[in-house]
Structure 1
Amino acid sequence: MSASVPDPLIAESAALIGDPTRAKMLGVLMDGRARTAKELSSLVGVGAATASVHIAKMSAAGLVSVAAQGRHRYVRLAGPEIAEILERLMTLAAVARPGVAARNGEEAAFREARSCYDHMAGALAVALVEALVARELLRRGHDGFEPTLAGERWFRALGIDVARTRCAGRAFARCCLDWSERRDHLAGALGAALLDALLRNGVVRRRKEGRTLDVTPVGRRFFAEAIHGASAAGRRDSGREQAAKQQSA
């Protein structure tokens, strides 16, 4: 007699996410903004009645939340944990198709900088985190990051109150695996605060639709300094040391 195997309870959720129409809806909601049922139906190309059925199924499964306001129903992802699941599924899909390059300028821009629910993802987000770790402004832990004292000052200069962010009632500074880069970017309350600060300071701008973030000229300078500034400073210091040695020889 074979032993019974506990139901892992993933088949139903996987089937819900795997439906092409629902997957498109979830992808639209990955930018963190709420959409009306009518907007979702238009964006994914299905009728209003069909969209309502899909939304009801996703709501019952806890994938989206639905709030009525006047005559409209507003739909958004149920929370950052759903966005993380979707991002990891996108990473899995990218692994299944290795070496796929950006096909056009729009896709290249999407891979460079985009929102991942309430935080920033893409090549610049990954490079920024790696530079902050290299500069000892962030420390990497088991499943997240922790700013150093110098790092807290760096975030404060952007207008982020790290102590207040730490008390936000959610994960503070998580690692989120970036699907296009396959390396971690910063998520959690600190990641959300960072994206808010970058938007507020004019470093990046949201588009009217979609997740792509446009990097402004101010943003180009910001990322160049944040990512490459430390190494440039190191080269300058090294050059000065060599010159001093030559003069004393």
Structure 2
Amino acid sequence: MARGPNIARVASLIGDNARAEVLSALMAGCSWTATELADTAGVTRQTISSHLGKLLDAGLVEVDQQGRHRYFRLAGGEVAELLESLMGLAARSAPSRPRFGPREPALRKARVCYDHLAGELGVLIYEEMLGHGLLERLDGAPRLTEQGGAWGARIGIDLRHAAGRKRSFCRACLDWSERRHHLAGWLGAALLKHILDMGWAQREQASRAITFSTDGEQSLRALFQVSGARDPAAAELQAAAWQQERWT
């Protein structure tokens, strides 16, 4: 008898090939219709309805009704974190080096992991923030430093928006392709939004890939060398707010 929650049901749901394709597609952080997911998984409309029903019952996906259409999405960051970890395990346990298709280099370079940046450039962000003292490790988990709070204010990320959110402020997510960590949580999502809002990169349609322009990638790498505050008063205010909240 299991001494804790029985993982067999969830494991069996994810282990089905069609449902695994559905969950992988939803890792892009977008909502898909049942028809779109059926095409992605290579199954009929009737079959996808059965699969989606099981995923809904297990709390792995959620659905929004808009007019006659229903849009499915992952149930949250916790599910995305589980799937990313499984992808890492799958990559490590492959019997031989897989042959990647044309899109694979783009996915390895930069991709969406639910709502934050993963891949080579996602790992770069995490390691640069640690190296410049913007993040510190506390009991193995990342934590924003006071310097990091001021840095966020300087580049235009209002850390006060994270107050009262139920989700983790920042955490490390193991990257399946780089085998190192990238930045997840509210802060990881805010940084990806900043990158897209600045026009440094764009999301590829029907893919998890994020494509950076040459100038955009240079701007990303220079992001951690910012020295001057856009608004010193705002920076001090946001840093003080961060210090008072002490988000983890």
TM-score (norm. length: structure 1)? 0.84
Asked which structure has the greater CA Rg, the reply is 1
* Equivalenced residues, count: 227
Deviations 1:196-227 (A, max 9, x none): 11111112211111110001223221233247
**Secondary structure at 1:76 match in 2:** strand
Q: Distance in 2 between matches of 1:105 and 1:74?
A: 29
Corresponding residue number in structure 1 for 2:104: 107
User: Paired residue for 2:78, among 78, 81, 99?
Assistant: 81
CA contact 1:198–1:204 (8 Å) conserved in 2? yes
1:24 paired to 2:21: yes
Aligned with 1:115: secondary structure?
A: strand
Match of 2:67 among 28, 47, 70: 70
Q: 1:37 to 1:168 in 2, by over 3 A?
A: same
- Identify the residue that residue 34 of structure 2 maps to in structure 1: 37
Q: 1:99 to 1:45 in 2, by over 3 A?
A: closer
In the alignment, the residues of structure 2 paired with residue 125 and residue 157 of structure 1 have an alpha-carbon distance, to the nearest angstrom, of 20
Of 171, 180, 185 in structure 2, the residue corresponding to residue 183 of structure 1 is 180
Asked if structure 2 preserves the Cα contact closer than 8 Å seen for 1:143 and 1:175, the reply is no
**Quick one: distance in 2 between partners of 1:102 and 1:109?**
14
Q: Is the alpha carbon distance of 1:175 and 1:43 closer, same or farther for their aligned partners in structure 2, counting shifts above 3 Å?
A: same
Q: Which shifted more, 201-210 or 22-31?
A: 201-210
* 1: CA distance, partners of 2:62 / 2:170: 24
| SS at structure 1 position matched to 2:199 | coil
Runs of at least 5 residues in structure 2 that lack an aligned partner in the other structure:
228-248
Residues 88-128 of structure 1: per-residue CA shift (max 9 Å, x gap): 00011111138837735421110110000011110111122
Deviates most, 13-22 or 126-135:
126-135
Post-superposition shift, 1:36? 0.9
Partner of 1:10: 7
Cα shift at 1:167: 3.2
Alignment equivalent of 1:225, drawn from 213, 216, 222: 222
What displacement does 1:7 show?
A: 6.0
Structure 2 contact 125–183 (Cα < 8 Å) conserved = no
Q: Let me know the Cα RMSD of the aligned residues.
A: 2.2
Deviation for aligned residue 1:5: 4.6
Contact 1:128 1:226 (C-alpha < 8 Å) held by counterparts: no
Aligned to 1:138: 135
Instruction: Indicate the SS of the match to 2:103.
Output: helix
- Code of the residue aligned with 2:147 in structure 1: it is A
TM-score with structure 2 length normalisation? 0.84
Take 2:98 and 2:163, find their aligned partners in 1: how far apart are those partners? 38
